[in-house]
Amino acid sequence: MRVTIRDVARQAGVSVKTVSRVINGDGPVREATRRRVRAVIEALHYRPNAVARSLVTRRTMTLGLLIADVTNPFFPEVVRGVEDAGKAAGYTVLLGNTDEDPAQEERYLTLMQERQVDGLVLSGSRVEEGVLKAVADSGPWMVLINRQVRHPRILSILVDNADATAQATAFLIRRGHRRIAYLLGPSRAEAAQLRFEGYRRALQNHGIPFLPAYVVQEIPRMEGGRRAMERLLALPLPPTAVVAYNDLMAIGAMEAIREAGRRVPEDIAVVGFDDIVLAAYAIPPLTTVRVPKYQMGYKAAAALIDAIRSGRASQRVIRFKGEMVVRRSA
């Protein structure tokens, strides 16, 4: 038969309320009593009934985590950070892959609300701003990674995307490049637009004309980078350097350059963004902007849990810096 909280209370010689306080870590309980209750819990192999517990506490001790692309090596580190922070606070994380599809993201948002998650972390969100605000109005606290939406129950974890890409572009300019192309990411991604702005700003600051033909938008995967680079190579005057929205596009671009019989970086230099694990093992190793992916995920979950517990946001926007990692592709 299933061991109940009443069984634990009876064996420990305390009230049900005291056992509940020990389990939930709230309310005054003497240390000797706490140790005795814990010992009985272990001896009886008692596991709290999550449903019953949620009815009392009005919390399910679960977080929802939506990521844009489970195949992109950027996201596993974010997921690990969220999971580690959640686990440390006693939370379970439910994961959903939106596959860069706003409609799929909306379906997951509905599902997470139906599961009554206590909070949501969205990394790579693509849905309309109004959808996120509607969820936050009636649902759980929310943290967005790499996106900002102004709402009292929505927090943001951001990288200085524009500044980081401006630095990457300026790095190529200092290397003597003037024909610098940009591989643009998803149109719905706030990070993509900010990184593009950084690219344009660097060109302007160094007196280099912006050429629309040198900007190609594609899906943020290796095949997208490859297709984008093929279009750039077909231009009458191809670029001598490329800045990519992310590392996957950069690696795809390098493959297209090699297949065209050209060399990286001797003929065309390439710079990525994110510093995923694959970047160091690309051929040649990829120069890129390093983003603290694990720390962003951990901080997102920690800030979310703090807001859930306190009912307020101590810090609405948390910013991280990108860092240039120079290898051999540029």
Dist CA 193 CA 220 (whole Å): 13
DSSP 260: T
State the DSSP H helix or E strand holding residue 226, giving kind and residue range, or none if neither.
helix 222-233
Q: Please give the pLDDT value at position 45.
A: 87
Q: Please give the pLDDT value at position 55.
A: 46
DSSP 274: B
Residue ranges of the chain with pLDDT lower than 70? Answer: 1, 25-26, 49-59
- Per residue in 301-323, pLDDT (tens digit) is 999 999 999 999 888 999 999 99
Q: Please give the pLDDT value at position 57.
A: 53
Q: Please give the pLDDT value at position 271.
A: 98
Q: Please give the pLDDT value at position 223.
A: 97
User: Could you tell me the two tokens for 294?
Assistant: 């694990």
**pTM (2 d.p.):** 0.82
- Listing DSSP states for 36-52 in one string gives HHHHHHHHHT----HHH
- Per residue in 116-174, pLDDT (tens digit) is 999 999 999 999 999 999 999 988 999 999 999 999 999 999 999 999 999 999 999 99
